Structure 1
Amino acid sequence: MKTLGYYNGRYGELDEMMIPMNDRVCWFGDGVYDAGPSRNYKIFALDEHIDRFFNSAGLLDIKMPVTKAELKEILQEMVNKMDTGNLFVYYQVTRGSGIRNHAFTEGAGNLWIMLKPAEISDGTQPIRLITLEDTRFLHCNIKTLNLIPSCVATEKAKQAGCQEAVFYRPGGRVTECAHSNVHIIKDGKLVTAPTDNLILPGIARAHLIRMCKKLEIPVSETPYTLEDLFAAEEVIVTSSSNLCLYANEIDGKPVGGKNPELLEKLRKALLDEFYEATK
Protein backbone atom coordinates (compact mmCIF):
# COMPACT_ATOMS: atom_id res chain seq x y z
CA MET A 1 0.00 0.00 0.00
CA LYS A 2 1.17 3.54 -0.72
CA THR A 3 -0.49 5.07 2.38
CA LEU A 4 -2.34 3.42 5.22
CA GLY A 5 -4.77 4.59 7.88
CA TYR A 6 -6.22 2.94 10.97
CA TYR A 7 -9.16 3.89 13.17
CA ASN A 8 -10.19 1.65 16.06
CA GLY A 9 -9.38 -1.54 14.15
CA ARG A 10 -10.43 -0.42 10.66
CA TYR A 11 -7.74 -0.16 7.96
CA GLY A 12 -7.61 1.55 4.57
CA GLU A 13 -5.86 3.95 2.23
CA LEU A 14 -5.85 7.41 3.82
CA ASP A 15 -8.23 8.96 1.29
CA GLU A 16 -10.73 6.16 1.97
CA MET A 17 -10.81 6.48 5.76
CA MET A 18 -13.86 8.07 7.44
CA ILE A 19 -14.02 9.39 11.01
CA PRO A 20 -17.25 9.70 13.07
CA MET A 21 -18.31 13.31 13.59
CA ASN A 22 -18.77 12.69 17.31
CA ASP A 23 -15.09 11.90 17.86
CA ARG A 24 -14.04 14.58 20.35
CA VAL A 25 -11.16 15.57 18.10
CA CYS A 26 -13.77 17.22 15.84
CA TRP A 27 -15.13 19.44 18.61
CA PHE A 28 -12.16 20.12 20.86
CA GLY A 29 -8.94 18.72 19.37
CA ASP A 30 -9.10 16.56 22.49
CA GLY A 31 -6.22 14.15 22.13
CA VAL A 32 -2.48 13.55 21.97
CA TYR A 33 -0.14 12.13 19.36
CA ASP A 34 3.34 10.90 18.64
CA ALA A 35 5.28 10.02 15.52
CA GLY A 36 8.64 8.90 14.21
CA PRO A 37 10.47 7.52 11.19
CA SER A 38 10.74 4.03 9.81
CA ARG A 39 13.54 2.82 7.54
CA ASN A 40 13.81 -0.60 5.94
CA TYR A 41 10.53 -1.52 7.72
CA LYS A 42 12.10 -0.85 11.12
CA ILE A 43 10.56 1.88 13.30
CA PHE A 44 13.27 3.99 14.92
CA ALA A 45 13.29 4.59 18.71
CA LEU A 46 9.79 3.12 18.99
CA ASP A 47 9.89 2.38 22.72
CA GLU A 48 10.86 5.97 23.49
CA HIS A 49 8.06 7.37 21.34
CA ILE A 50 5.44 5.05 22.78
CA ASP A 51 6.52 5.88 26.34
CA ARG A 52 6.08 9.60 25.57
CA PHE A 53 2.74 8.90 23.86
CA PHE A 54 1.36 7.10 26.90
CA ASN A 55 2.75 9.78 29.20
CA SER A 56 1.00 12.54 27.21
CA ALA A 57 -2.27 10.61 27.41
CA GLY A 58 -1.84 10.08 31.13
CA LEU A 59 -1.24 13.78 31.78
CA LEU A 60 -4.63 14.51 30.19
CA ASP A 61 -6.41 11.53 31.82
CA ILE A 62 -7.09 9.90 28.45
CA LYS A 63 -7.65 6.15 28.75
CA MET A 64 -5.57 4.25 26.22
CA PRO A 65 -7.53 1.60 24.25
CA VAL A 66 -4.46 -0.62 23.86
CA THR A 67 -1.36 -1.57 25.83
CA LYS A 68 2.12 -0.49 24.80
CA ALA A 69 2.86 -3.99 23.53
CA GLU A 70 -0.37 -4.09 21.51
CA LEU A 71 0.36 -0.72 19.94
CA LYS A 72 3.86 -1.79 18.95
CA GLU A 73 2.44 -4.91 17.31
CA ILE A 74 -0.22 -2.93 15.38
CA LEU A 75 2.32 -0.38 14.17
CA GLN A 76 4.77 -3.03 12.95
CA GLU A 77 2.00 -4.97 11.21
CA MET A 78 0.96 -1.80 9.39
CA VAL A 79 4.52 -0.92 8.40
CA ASN A 80 4.91 -4.40 6.94
CA LYS A 81 1.89 -3.79 4.65
CA MET A 82 3.50 -0.79 2.93
CA ASP A 83 5.15 -0.69 -0.49
CA THR A 84 8.21 0.98 1.04
CA GLY A 85 9.74 0.63 4.49
CA ASN A 86 10.90 4.28 4.60
CA LEU A 87 7.95 5.95 6.29
CA PHE A 88 6.54 8.59 8.59
CA VAL A 89 4.68 6.64 11.28
CA TYR A 90 2.06 8.76 13.09
CA TYR A 91 -0.38 7.76 15.83
CA GLN A 92 -2.84 9.63 18.03
CA VAL A 93 -5.48 8.90 20.63
CA THR A 94 -8.53 11.07 21.17
CA ARG A 95 -10.56 11.04 24.36
CA GLY A 96 -13.45 9.15 22.77
CA SER A 97 -16.78 9.85 21.12
CA GLY A 98 -19.97 11.52 22.28
CA ILE A 99 -22.41 14.36 21.71
CA ARG A 100 -20.55 17.67 22.03
CA ASN A 101 -20.01 18.42 25.71
CA HIS A 102 -17.01 20.11 27.31
CA ALA A 103 -17.01 17.58 30.17
CA PHE A 104 -14.97 14.44 29.49
CA THR A 105 -16.58 11.38 27.95
CA GLU A 106 -16.15 8.08 29.76
CA GLY A 107 -14.38 5.01 28.49
CA ALA A 108 -11.37 4.33 26.31
CA GLY A 109 -10.13 6.70 23.66
CA ASN A 110 -10.09 6.32 19.88
CA LEU A 111 -6.82 5.18 18.27
CA TRP A 112 -5.76 6.66 14.92
CA ILE A 113 -2.69 5.67 12.91
CA MET A 114 -1.33 7.12 9.67
CA LEU A 115 1.56 5.91 7.52
CA LYS A 116 3.02 7.67 4.50
CA PRO A 117 6.32 7.41 2.60
CA ALA A 118 9.05 9.70 3.94
CA GLU A 119 12.81 10.02 4.06
CA ILE A 120 15.06 11.34 6.81
CA SER A 121 17.14 14.40 5.90
CA ASP A 122 20.89 13.81 6.11
CA GLY A 123 21.29 17.30 7.56
CA THR A 124 24.00 18.42 5.14
CA GLN A 125 22.08 21.45 3.84
CA PRO A 126 21.53 24.52 6.07
CA ILE A 127 18.08 25.83 6.90
CA ARG A 128 16.74 29.33 7.52
CA LEU A 129 14.71 30.32 10.58
CA ILE A 130 12.51 33.16 11.77
CA THR A 131 11.71 34.10 15.37
CA LEU A 132 8.18 34.55 16.74
CA GLU A 133 6.78 35.22 20.18
CA ASP A 134 5.58 32.01 21.82
CA THR A 135 1.85 32.56 22.45
CA ARG A 136 1.01 28.91 23.11
CA PHE A 137 -0.43 27.66 26.38
CA LEU A 138 1.58 26.46 29.38
CA HIS A 139 1.40 22.72 28.77
CA CYS A 140 3.84 22.42 25.86
CA ASN A 141 5.36 19.32 27.47
CA ILE A 142 2.20 17.41 26.46
CA LYS A 143 2.11 16.47 22.76
CA THR A 144 -1.49 17.53 22.18
CA LEU A 145 -3.43 17.91 18.94
CA ASN A 146 -3.93 21.64 19.59
CA LEU A 147 -1.43 22.85 17.01
CA ILE A 148 -2.96 26.04 15.58
CA PRO A 149 -0.14 28.32 16.89
CA SER A 150 2.44 25.97 15.38
CA CYS A 151 0.56 25.83 12.08
CA VAL A 152 0.36 29.64 11.94
CA ALA A 153 4.06 29.93 12.77
CA THR A 154 5.00 27.35 10.14
CA GLU A 155 3.02 29.25 7.51
CA LYS A 156 4.75 32.52 8.46
CA ALA A 157 8.12 30.77 8.14
CA LYS A 158 7.11 29.43 4.73
CA GLN A 159 6.03 32.88 3.55
CA ALA A 160 9.39 34.26 4.69
CA GLY A 161 11.24 31.60 2.68
CA CYS A 162 12.32 29.78 5.85
CA GLN A 163 11.99 26.20 7.04
CA GLU A 164 11.17 26.71 10.72
CA ALA A 165 10.06 29.27 13.31
CA VAL A 166 11.82 29.67 16.66
CA PHE A 167 9.53 30.55 19.56
CA TYR A 168 10.54 32.85 22.42
CA ARG A 169 8.75 33.88 25.61
CA PRO A 170 8.61 37.34 27.24
CA GLY A 171 12.11 38.39 28.21
CA GLY A 172 13.56 36.68 25.17
CA ARG A 173 13.83 33.11 26.49
CA VAL A 174 14.02 30.69 23.56
CA THR A 175 11.73 27.67 24.00
CA GLU A 176 11.53 25.53 20.86
CA CYS A 177 10.47 25.64 17.21
CA ALA A 178 7.02 25.22 15.71
CA HIS A 179 7.59 21.49 15.22
CA SER A 180 11.18 20.91 16.37
CA ASN A 181 13.55 21.47 19.27
CA VAL A 182 16.30 24.08 18.87
CA HIS A 183 19.72 24.05 20.53
CA ILE A 184 22.93 26.04 20.37
CA ILE A 185 26.63 25.38 20.60
CA LYS A 186 28.21 27.93 22.93
CA ASP A 187 31.84 27.82 24.05
CA GLY A 188 32.12 24.29 22.68
CA LYS A 189 29.18 22.89 24.66
CA LEU A 190 25.58 22.07 23.80
CA VAL A 191 23.03 24.38 25.41
CA THR A 192 19.41 23.26 25.22
CA ALA A 193 16.26 24.46 26.96
CA PRO A 194 15.30 22.40 30.02
CA THR A 195 12.38 20.00 29.79
CA ASP A 196 9.90 22.06 31.77
CA ASN A 197 6.31 22.82 30.74
CA LEU A 198 7.41 25.24 28.00
CA ILE A 199 8.89 22.66 25.62
CA LEU A 200 8.17 19.18 24.37
CA PRO A 201 10.78 16.65 25.54
CA GLY A 202 11.87 15.67 22.05
CA ILE A 203 13.08 12.14 21.35
CA ALA A 204 15.65 13.48 18.89
CA ARG A 205 16.66 16.00 21.58
CA ALA A 206 17.30 13.12 23.99
CA HIS A 207 19.41 11.32 21.36
CA LEU A 208 21.38 14.52 20.75
CA ILE A 209 22.13 14.89 24.45
CA ARG A 210 23.16 11.26 24.80
CA MET A 211 25.39 11.54 21.74
CA CYS A 212 27.07 14.65 23.14
CA LYS A 213 27.84 12.81 26.36
CA LYS A 214 29.15 9.83 24.39
CA LEU A 215 31.44 12.15 22.42
CA GLU A 216 32.44 13.98 25.63
CA ILE A 217 30.82 17.24 24.53
CA PRO A 218 29.55 19.14 27.60
CA VAL A 219 25.77 19.62 27.86
CA SER A 220 23.90 22.39 29.67
CA GLU A 221 20.12 21.99 29.97
CA THR A 222 19.46 25.59 30.91
CA PRO A 223 17.35 28.44 29.52
CA TYR A 224 18.99 30.64 26.89
CA THR A 225 17.91 33.81 25.11
CA LEU A 226 17.53 35.26 21.63
CA GLU A 227 20.82 37.06 22.21
CA ASP A 228 22.50 33.71 22.85
CA LEU A 229 20.81 32.26 19.76
CA PHE A 230 22.14 34.92 17.40
CA ALA A 231 25.63 34.79 18.94
CA ALA A 232 25.87 30.98 18.99
CA GLU A 233 28.75 29.10 17.42
CA GLU A 234 26.17 26.80 15.81
CA VAL A 235 22.36 26.55 15.83
CA ILE A 236 20.98 22.99 15.72
CA VAL A 237 17.38 21.97 15.03
CA THR A 238 16.22 18.43 15.81
CA SER A 239 13.03 16.45 15.35
CA SER A 240 12.06 12.83 14.81
CA SER A 241 11.80 13.55 11.07
CA ASN A 242 15.05 15.52 10.88
CA LEU A 243 17.58 14.25 13.38
CA CYS A 244 20.20 17.00 13.08
CA LEU A 245 19.72 20.12 10.97
CA TYR A 246 21.69 23.34 11.29
CA ALA A 247 20.70 26.94 10.61
CA ASN A 248 22.79 29.55 8.85
CA GLU A 249 20.24 32.37 8.91
CA ILE A 250 17.68 33.70 11.41
CA ASP A 251 15.42 36.67 10.61
CA GLY A 252 17.59 37.33 7.57
CA LYS A 253 20.80 37.55 9.61
CA PRO A 254 23.67 35.05 9.28
CA VAL A 255 24.22 32.77 12.27
CA GLY A 256 26.48 29.89 13.22
CA GLY A 257 29.35 28.63 11.12
CA LYS A 258 31.83 29.05 13.96
CA ASN A 259 32.33 25.42 15.01
CA PRO A 260 31.74 23.28 11.89
CA GLU A 261 33.95 20.42 13.07
CA LEU A 262 31.88 19.80 16.19
CA LEU A 263 28.65 20.21 14.24
CA GLU A 264 29.74 17.66 11.64
CA LYS A 265 30.85 15.23 14.35
CA LEU A 266 27.37 15.35 15.89
CA ARG A 267 25.50 15.19 12.59
CA LYS A 268 27.44 12.17 11.40
CA ALA A 269 27.18 10.33 14.71
CA LEU A 270 23.40 10.83 14.93
CA LEU A 271 22.82 9.71 11.34
CA ASP A 272 25.10 6.71 11.82
CA GLU A 273 23.09 5.75 14.92
CA PHE A 274 19.86 5.92 12.90
CA TYR A 275 21.27 3.96 9.96
CA GLU A 276 22.70 1.29 12.26
CA ALA A 277 19.40 0.86 14.14
CA THR A 278 17.41 0.56 10.89
CA LYS A 279 19.79 -1.35 8.61
Structure 2
Amino acid sequence: MKNLAYYNGKITSIEDMMIPANDRGFYFGDGIYEVAMVFHHKIFALEDHLDRMASSAALVKIELPAPKEEIGHLLEELAEKVESPCQFLYWQITRATSPRNHLFPEGAASNLYVYSKPWKGVEMSDEYRLLSIEDTRFLHCNIKTLNLLPNVMAAQKAKEAGCSEAVFVRDGYVTEGSHSNISLIKDGVFVTHPLDNLILPGTERKHMIRYCGELGILVEERAFTLEEMAEADEIIVSSTSHPSMRAMELDKKAVGMKNPELVKKLRDKYMEEIEG
Protein backbone atom coordinates (compact mmCIF):
# COMPACT_ATOMS: atom_id res chain seq x y z
CA MET A 1 0.00 0.00 0.00
CA LYS A 2 1.13 3.58 -0.67
CA ASN A 3 -0.16 4.60 2.75
CA LEU A 4 -2.28 2.94 5.41
CA ALA A 5 -4.92 3.70 8.01
CA TYR A 6 -6.21 1.36 10.70
CA TYR A 7 -9.19 1.80 13.00
CA ASN A 8 -10.27 -0.94 15.40
CA GLY A 9 -9.39 -3.74 13.01
CA LYS A 10 -10.31 -2.09 9.71
CA ILE A 11 -7.54 -1.24 7.24
CA THR A 12 -7.88 1.21 4.34
CA SER A 13 -5.91 3.98 2.73
CA ILE A 14 -5.72 7.16 4.80
CA GLU A 15 -8.06 8.89 2.38
CA ASP A 16 -10.74 6.20 2.67
CA MET A 17 -10.78 5.71 6.44
CA MET A 18 -14.06 6.53 8.20
CA ILE A 19 -14.21 7.16 11.96
CA PRO A 20 -17.48 7.31 13.96
CA ALA A 21 -18.61 10.84 14.83
CA ASN A 22 -19.19 9.72 18.43
CA ASP A 23 -15.51 8.90 18.96
CA ARG A 24 -14.68 10.98 22.04
CA GLY A 25 -11.52 12.17 20.34
CA PHE A 26 -13.76 14.47 18.27
CA TYR A 27 -15.77 15.87 21.18
CA PHE A 28 -13.16 16.33 23.87
CA GLY A 29 -9.77 15.43 22.43
CA ASP A 30 -10.21 12.59 24.93
CA GLY A 31 -7.21 10.53 24.02
CA ILE A 32 -3.45 10.17 23.77
CA TYR A 33 -1.14 9.69 20.80
CA GLU A 34 2.33 8.72 19.68
CA VAL A 35 4.52 9.31 16.63
CA ALA A 36 7.44 7.13 15.60
CA MET A 37 9.75 6.97 12.62
CA VAL A 38 10.13 3.86 10.49
CA PHE A 39 13.48 3.16 8.86
CA HIS A 40 13.98 0.12 6.62
CA HIS A 41 10.47 -1.01 7.68
CA LYS A 42 11.61 -1.11 11.32
CA ILE A 43 10.03 1.17 13.92
CA PHE A 44 12.75 3.21 15.60
CA ALA A 45 12.69 3.23 19.42
CA LEU A 46 9.38 1.37 19.50
CA GLU A 47 9.70 0.34 23.15
CA ASP A 48 10.24 3.94 24.23
CA HIS A 49 7.07 4.99 22.42
CA LEU A 50 5.03 2.09 23.81
CA ASP A 51 6.18 2.90 27.34
CA ARG A 52 5.20 6.56 26.96
CA MET A 53 1.88 5.53 25.40
CA ALA A 54 1.09 3.34 28.40
CA SER A 55 2.13 6.09 30.82
CA SER A 56 -0.01 8.74 29.12
CA ALA A 57 -3.02 6.41 28.99
CA ALA A 58 -2.69 5.59 32.69
CA LEU A 59 -2.44 9.27 33.65
CA VAL A 60 -5.77 10.06 31.94
CA LYS A 61 -7.36 6.75 33.02
CA ILE A 62 -7.81 5.33 29.52
CA GLU A 63 -7.65 1.55 29.31
CA LEU A 64 -5.47 0.34 26.45
CA PRO A 65 -7.40 -1.59 23.78
CA ALA A 66 -4.80 -4.38 24.09
CA PRO A 67 -1.59 -5.04 26.06
CA LYS A 68 1.15 -2.70 24.88
CA GLU A 69 3.16 -5.65 23.52
CA GLU A 70 0.24 -6.61 21.25
CA ILE A 71 -0.12 -3.03 20.09
CA GLY A 72 3.59 -3.03 19.29
CA HIS A 73 3.28 -6.20 17.20
CA LEU A 74 0.31 -4.72 15.35
CA LEU A 75 2.25 -1.53 14.57
CA GLU A 76 5.14 -3.60 13.20
CA GLU A 77 2.74 -5.57 11.00
CA LEU A 78 1.12 -2.40 9.69
CA ALA A 79 4.47 -0.77 8.91
CA GLU A 80 5.38 -3.79 6.78
CA LYS A 81 2.29 -3.24 4.63
CA VAL A 82 3.38 0.23 3.45
CA GLU A 83 5.63 0.18 0.39
CA SER A 84 8.01 2.91 1.48
CA PRO A 85 10.80 1.68 3.80
CA CYS A 86 10.88 5.10 5.48
CA GLN A 87 7.60 6.12 7.12
CA PHE A 88 5.93 8.56 9.48
CA LEU A 89 3.89 6.38 11.86
CA TYR A 90 1.13 7.90 14.01
CA TRP A 91 -1.27 6.24 16.40
CA GLN A 92 -3.82 7.44 18.91
CA ILE A 93 -6.03 5.85 21.53
CA THR A 94 -9.31 7.51 22.46
CA ARG A 95 -11.40 6.69 25.49
CA ALA A 96 -14.48 5.30 23.74
CA THR A 97 -17.21 5.81 21.18
CA SER A 98 -20.37 7.07 22.86
CA PRO A 99 -22.83 10.01 22.79
CA ARG A 100 -21.34 13.27 24.01
CA ASN A 101 -21.12 13.45 27.79
CA HIS A 102 -18.30 14.77 29.96
CA LEU A 103 -18.43 11.71 32.22
CA PHE A 104 -16.53 8.57 31.27
CA PRO A 105 -18.88 6.11 29.50
CA GLU A 106 -19.28 2.85 31.39
CA GLY A 107 -18.37 -0.41 29.70
CA ALA A 108 -17.25 1.18 26.41
CA ALA A 109 -14.00 0.00 24.83
CA SER A 110 -11.19 2.36 23.81
CA ASN A 111 -10.39 2.99 20.14
CA LEU A 112 -7.10 2.57 18.31
CA TYR A 113 -6.42 4.61 15.19
CA VAL A 114 -3.15 4.26 13.26
CA TYR A 115 -1.84 5.74 10.07
CA SER A 116 1.48 5.44 8.28
CA LYS A 117 2.69 7.33 5.25
CA PRO A 118 5.93 7.67 3.31
CA TRP A 119 8.52 10.00 4.88
CA LYS A 120 11.45 11.77 3.27
CA GLY A 121 13.87 10.53 5.90
CA VAL A 122 15.99 12.07 8.64
CA GLU A 123 15.78 15.85 8.75
CA MET A 124 18.53 17.87 10.42
CA SER A 125 18.87 21.62 9.94
CA ASP A 126 21.39 24.27 10.94
CA GLU A 127 18.99 27.11 10.15
CA TYR A 128 16.22 27.00 12.75
CA ARG A 129 14.72 30.32 13.79
CA LEU A 130 12.90 30.44 17.14
CA LEU A 131 10.26 32.72 18.62
CA SER A 132 9.70 32.86 22.38
CA ILE A 133 6.08 32.76 23.57
CA GLU A 134 4.55 32.84 27.03
CA ASP A 135 3.62 29.33 28.15
CA THR A 136 -0.04 29.50 29.17
CA ARG A 137 -0.80 25.81 28.67
CA PHE A 138 -2.28 23.62 31.37
CA LEU A 139 -0.08 21.80 33.88
CA HIS A 140 -0.19 18.32 32.34
CA CYS A 141 2.36 18.77 29.56
CA ASN A 142 3.97 15.43 30.43
CA ILE A 143 0.91 13.65 28.98
CA LYS A 144 0.96 13.19 25.20
CA THR A 145 -2.67 14.18 24.88
CA LEU A 146 -4.67 15.07 21.78
CA ASN A 147 -5.41 18.47 23.37
CA LEU A 148 -2.87 20.53 21.41
CA LEU A 149 -4.67 23.78 20.57
CA PRO A 150 -2.22 26.04 22.49
CA ASN A 151 0.66 24.29 20.71
CA VAL A 152 -1.06 24.75 17.35
CA MET A 153 -1.59 28.46 18.03
CA ALA A 154 2.03 28.90 19.10
CA ALA A 155 3.39 27.05 16.06
CA GLN A 156 1.25 29.18 13.76
CA LYS A 157 2.41 32.39 15.45
CA ALA A 158 6.01 31.30 14.95
CA LYS A 159 5.40 30.55 11.28
CA GLU A 160 3.75 33.93 10.70
CA ALA A 161 6.83 35.54 12.26
CA GLY A 162 9.07 33.69 9.80
CA CYS A 163 10.29 31.22 12.40
CA SER A 164 10.63 27.44 12.48
CA GLU A 165 9.42 26.78 16.02
CA ALA A 166 7.92 28.46 19.09
CA VAL A 167 9.71 28.28 22.44
CA PHE A 168 7.47 28.29 25.50
CA VAL A 169 8.60 30.38 28.49
CA ARG A 170 6.90 29.98 31.89
CA ASP A 171 7.80 32.25 34.83
CA GLY A 172 11.02 33.24 33.12
CA TYR A 173 12.17 29.67 32.36
CA VAL A 174 12.17 27.87 29.02
CA THR A 175 10.04 24.73 29.09
CA GLU A 176 9.88 23.27 25.56
CA GLY A 177 8.86 23.96 21.98
CA SER A 178 5.37 23.76 20.53
CA HIS A 179 6.23 20.31 19.15
CA SER A 180 9.75 19.67 20.39
CA ASN A 181 12.12 19.62 23.34
CA ILE A 182 14.69 22.39 23.74
CA SER A 183 18.22 21.71 24.97
CA LEU A 184 21.44 23.73 25.23
CA ILE A 185 25.14 23.17 24.96
CA LYS A 186 27.27 25.54 27.04
CA ASP A 187 30.98 25.09 27.72
CA GLY A 188 30.74 21.46 26.61
CA VAL A 189 27.81 20.65 28.91
CA PHE A 190 24.45 19.41 27.59
CA VAL A 191 21.65 21.19 29.47
CA THR A 192 17.97 20.21 29.25
CA HIS A 193 14.83 20.87 31.27
CA PRO A 194 14.14 18.19 33.92
CA LEU A 195 11.29 15.75 33.46
CA ASP A 196 8.24 17.12 35.24
CA ASN A 197 4.68 18.13 34.41
CA LEU A 198 5.84 21.14 32.36
CA ILE A 199 7.40 19.23 29.46
CA LEU A 200 6.81 16.13 27.38
CA PRO A 201 9.29 13.32 28.08
CA GLY A 202 10.64 13.35 24.53
CA THR A 203 12.11 10.13 23.20
CA GLU A 204 14.85 11.95 21.28
CA ARG A 205 15.67 13.99 24.40
CA LYS A 206 16.09 10.65 26.19
CA HIS A 207 18.34 9.33 23.43
CA MET A 208 20.55 12.42 23.39
CA ILE A 209 21.12 12.13 27.13
CA ARG A 210 22.20 8.53 26.55
CA TYR A 211 24.45 9.56 23.66
CA CYS A 212 26.07 12.14 25.93
CA GLY A 213 26.78 9.43 28.47
CA GLU A 214 28.40 7.26 25.81
CA LEU A 215 30.49 10.19 24.59
CA GLY A 216 31.53 11.36 28.05
CA ILE A 217 29.60 14.64 27.77
CA LEU A 218 28.35 16.06 31.06
CA VAL A 219 24.55 16.42 31.30
CA GLU A 220 22.63 18.84 33.51
CA GLU A 221 18.87 18.35 33.79
CA ARG A 222 17.70 21.71 35.11
CA ALA A 223 15.57 24.69 34.21
CA PHE A 224 17.23 27.53 32.30
CA THR A 225 16.17 31.06 31.44
CA LEU A 226 15.58 32.61 28.05
CA GLU A 227 18.63 34.80 28.64
CA GLU A 228 20.79 31.74 29.35
CA MET A 229 19.44 30.13 26.21
CA ALA A 230 20.38 33.19 24.15
CA GLU A 231 23.97 32.96 25.42
CA ALA A 232 24.37 29.20 24.84
CA ASP A 233 27.00 27.82 22.48
CA GLU A 234 24.33 25.69 20.81
CA ILE A 235 20.54 25.42 20.96
CA ILE A 236 19.20 22.04 19.91
CA VAL A 237 15.56 21.51 19.00
CA SER A 238 14.63 17.82 19.04
CA SER A 239 11.61 15.69 18.25
CA THR A 240 10.90 12.26 16.84
CA SER A 241 10.63 13.48 13.25
CA HIS A 242 13.30 16.21 13.57
CA PRO A 243 15.93 14.74 15.89
CA SER A 244 18.60 17.45 15.88
CA MET A 245 17.84 20.95 14.64
CA ARG A 246 20.35 23.72 15.44
CA ALA A 247 18.91 27.15 16.16
CA MET A 248 20.67 30.11 14.56
CA GLU A 249 18.19 32.77 15.66
CA LEU A 250 16.06 33.53 18.71
CA ASP A 251 13.61 36.43 18.65
CA LYS A 252 15.32 37.88 15.56
CA LYS A 253 18.79 37.79 17.16
CA ALA A 254 21.68 35.53 16.18
CA VAL A 255 22.39 32.74 18.68
CA GLY A 256 24.39 29.55 19.09
CA MET A 257 26.27 27.89 16.24
CA LYS A 258 29.52 27.79 18.26
CA ASN A 259 30.13 24.08 18.85
CA PRO A 260 29.42 22.18 15.62
CA GLU A 261 31.85 19.42 16.56
CA LEU A 262 29.81 18.34 19.59
CA VAL A 263 26.55 18.55 17.65
CA LYS A 264 28.05 16.35 14.93
CA LYS A 265 29.00 13.73 17.51
CA LEU A 266 25.39 13.57 18.74
CA ARG A 267 24.04 13.42 15.20
CA ASP A 268 26.49 10.68 14.24
CA LYS A 269 25.30 8.62 17.22
CA TYR A 270 21.71 8.93 16.00
CA MET A 271 22.60 7.94 12.44
CA GLU A 272 24.61 4.94 13.66
CA GLU A 273 21.62 3.79 15.67
CA ILE A 274 19.04 4.00 12.88
CA GLU A 275 21.38 2.32 10.43
CA GLY A 276 22.47 -0.36 12.92
TM-score bracket for the superposition, by shorter chain length: over 0.9
User: How far apart, CA to CA, are the structure 2 residues paired with 1:49 and 1:269?
Assistant: 19
CA distance in 2, matches of 1:44, 1:196: 24
The answer for unaligned runs of 5 or more in structure 2 is none
1:265 paired residue number: 265
Contact (CA 8 Å) 2:97, 2:109: kept in 1 or not? no
Partner Cα distance (1:220, 1:194) in 2 = 9
Equivalent residue number for residue 25 of structure 2? 25
In the alignment, the residues of structure 1 paired with residue 217 and residue 272 of structure 2 have an alpha-carbon distance, to the nearest angstrom, of 17
Structure 2 distance, partners of 1:272, 1:165, is: 29
AA of the residue aligned to 1:85? P
For residue 76 of structure 2, what is the aligned residue in structure 1?
Answer: 76
What corresponds to 1:148 in structure 2?
A: 149
Are residues 1:175 and 2:175 paired? yes
| Letter paired with 1:46 | L
The 1:63–1:249 alpha-carbon spacing in structure 2 relative to 1, beyond 3 Å, is same
> Is the contact between residue 35 and residue 88 of structure 2 (CA under 8 Å) also seen in structure 1?
yes
Q: What is the SS of the residue equivalent to 2:19? A: coil
Deviation of the 1:135 alpha carbon:
1.1
Contact 2:165 2:177 in 1 (8 A): yes
Displacement of 1:210: 0.3
CA distance in 2, matches of 1:17, 1:205: 33
Q: In structure 1, what is the equivalent of residue 116 of structure 2?
A: 115
Change (3 A) 1:111 1:128: same
Question: TM-score with structure 1 length normalisation?
Answer: 0.96
Measured against aligned partners, the alpha-carbon deviations of 1:155-194 in whole angstroms (never above 9, x if no partner) come to 1111122111111102x10000000001001121011000
CA separation in 2, counterparts of 1:15 and 1:23? 18
Q: Is the 8 A contact 1:244 1:270 kept in 2?
A: no
Query: Could you say which residue in structure 2 is the equivalent of 1:11?
Result: 11
Q: Deviations over 1:9-46 (max 9, x none)?
A: 11101111111111111110000001110011010000
**1:46-61 equivalent positions in 2, closer than 5 A:** 46-61=46-61
Give the % identical residues: 49
Distance 1:240 1:2, change over 3 A: same
The code of the aligned residue for 1:126 comes to E
Q: Distance in 2 between matches of 1:219 and 1:120?
A: 28
Q: Deviations over 1:201-241 (max 9, x none)?
A: 00000000000011000000000010111000100011111
- 1:61 and 1:212 mapped to 2: Cα distance? 35
Contact 1:243 1:271 in 2 (8 A): no
Q: CA shift at 1:122, angstroms?
A: 4.3
Are 2:167 and 1:166 equivalent residues in the alignment?
yes
Runs of 4+ in 1 over 6 A off after TM superposition: none
